[in-house]
Amino acid sequence: MSSALKSAEQSIAPANNLDAFWMPFTANRQFKSRPRLLVGAKDMHYRNAEGDEILDATAGLWCVNAGHSRPKIVEAVQKQIAELDYAPAFQMGHPKAFELAARVAAMMPGNLDRIFFTNSGSESVDTALKVAIAYHRARGEGTRTRLIGRERGYHGVGFGGISVGGIVKNRMFFGSLLNGVDHLPHTHDREKQAYSRGCPEWGAHLADELERIVTLHDASTIAAVIVEPVAGSTGVLMPPKGYLEKLRAICDKHGILLIFDEVITGFGRLGAPTATEYFGVTPDIVTMAKGLTNGVIPMGCVAFDSKIYDAFMDGPENVIELFHGYTYSGHPMAAAAGLATLDTYKEEGLFERAAELAPYWEEAVHALKGEPHVIDLRNLGLIGAIELESIPGKPTARAFDAFLKAYEKGLLIRTTGDIIALSPPLIISKAQIDQVFETLRGVLRAVD
């Protein structure tokens, strides 16, 4: 076959040729031997290539907070692409990006009212870390370059994010990472916190480790501390009561910026606009993504305290203040999706709805106590975690089996290690909550 013909043939390769796509965070060989292809979605359900309805108990990947294919968002995106498809992000602008920034700023507590747009959670994290370092330098404190993350933290996959993150496999294959990073201990203790409802009572003192790190390096070398208020991807770990307050106080004492990574907790997951508001602890920087656009167009953002923005606004007026940004920062399509998403949250009262459903959800999660393999249950807002006892020598196997069995029964869950993580769209009904947990009960009884 001539090479021209061959390439023509390749370009019409059948949809069931799954070789070319190197899938992220996926067991590629397993998937390609038994693919799970989604072809449609509406409200609480996906539809797969076999025509089955799949109840979405994970809001996609913690992002589709308003449910799937919501008409207002679909319409806004369709209208936007016909009107203004793209506008240069540097030295030019378009109204919707400013409008969305103002809407997000209005949603944030305190002075977190300067919004920088990115395309993902990972980019939001790298933006936050870079700006934290540059902020100190702009104020004449250029020695403050060290960053402090936390064990079992997940902050995306950029070099900054994996350096401050605390997941061994996300770090160990990728070289020496960033210099000058320390980690706080994670806050989870299986025995002392077992079956906690909401935030555990035990563990606030773990924030004092920050004082030890400050003593070791001196505050004058430390730029920022980054934590997820609720750690999602590493097993759904709620902050011990009083822990975030302590971190805030220690950062204040030493002039260290506090960053909350709210990529999963932003936009209603806890029954409040943000975890910042839910916990009443205000950091200097908040990273977000996912729920900002309901997942329909990639977009993230970083909310900065206005003191940070102001520190960059000192020089000559016609000189670029911050040498950082993305071709697609504030993209018109994403901005349109974001505005329609925020409208949907507001019109349907979805954050309040999540708060109202949270007690029902909590009961449903904890009703799984005593089911086979279950060693812990956790919940907060519309987040749930079911921790399973691992099969010796085969960590992750049991939860992955549960994931496959749940999918066969028409339920989408997510697993991390041997932990099942649940985070449904905020439009879920009580009957659908019952369905999620009834299905899971059957699944737990069926896994090895």
Considering the rule CB under 6 A, would residue 289 count as an interface residue with ligand PMP? yes
423 counts as binding ligand PMP under rule CB under 6 A: no
State yes or no: residue 286 binds ligand PMP (CB under 6 A): no
- We find the least distance from the C-beta atom of residue 441 to ligand PMP, in angstroms, to be 27
Instruction: Give the type of residue at 48.
Output: N
Q: How far is the CB of 155 from ligand PMP (least distance, A)?
A: 5
* Interface with ligand PMP, residue 355, by CB under 6 A: no
H or E stretch at 408? helix 397-408
CB 395 within 8 A of CB 367: no
Q: Looking at the DSSP assignment, which residues form a beta bridge with residue 56?
A: 412
Q: Tell me if 263 contacts ligand PMP by CB under 6 A.
A: yes
Residue 227 identity: V
Q: How far apart are CA 190 and CA 201, in angstroms?
A: 13
Stretch that binds ligand PMP, among 79-87, 107-115, 152-160, 278-286 (CB under 6 A): 152-160
Q: How far is the CB of 153 from ligand PMP (least distance, A)?
A: 8
Binding flag, residue 246, ligand PMP (CB under 6 A)? no
Q: Which of 182, 261, 362, 376 touches ligand PMP (CB under 6 A)?
A: 261
Task: Report 102-121 residues binding ligand PMP (CB under 6 A).
Answer: 120-121
Residue type, 133: I
Smallest gap from Cβ 423 to ligand PMP, in A, equals: 10
Residue 116 phi/psi, 5-degree rounding, is -110, 130
Closest residue to ligand PMP in the complex (CB) = 121
d(CA 234, CA 369): 21
With contact defined as beta carbons under 8 Å apart, do 428 and 56 qualify? Answer: no
The answer to whether residue 295 forms part of the interface with ligand PMP (CB under 6 A) is: no
Report the residue number, 168 or 367, with the smaller CB distance to ligand PMP. Answer: 168
Write down the least CB distance from residue 445 to ligand PMP, Å: 30
Evaluate whether 365 touches 433 at the Cβ level (below 8 Å): no
Pairing of strands 383-388, 419-422: antiparallel
385 binds ligand PMP (CB under 6 A): no
Q: How far apart are CA 157 and CA 94, in angstroms?
A: 30
Options 187, 196, 233, 282; binder of ligand PMP; rule CB under 6 A:
233
Contacts (Cβ under 8 Å, ≥6 apart) of 142: 136
Positions touching ligand PMP (CB under 6 A) are 120-122, 125, 154-156, 228, 232-233, 261, 263-264, 289
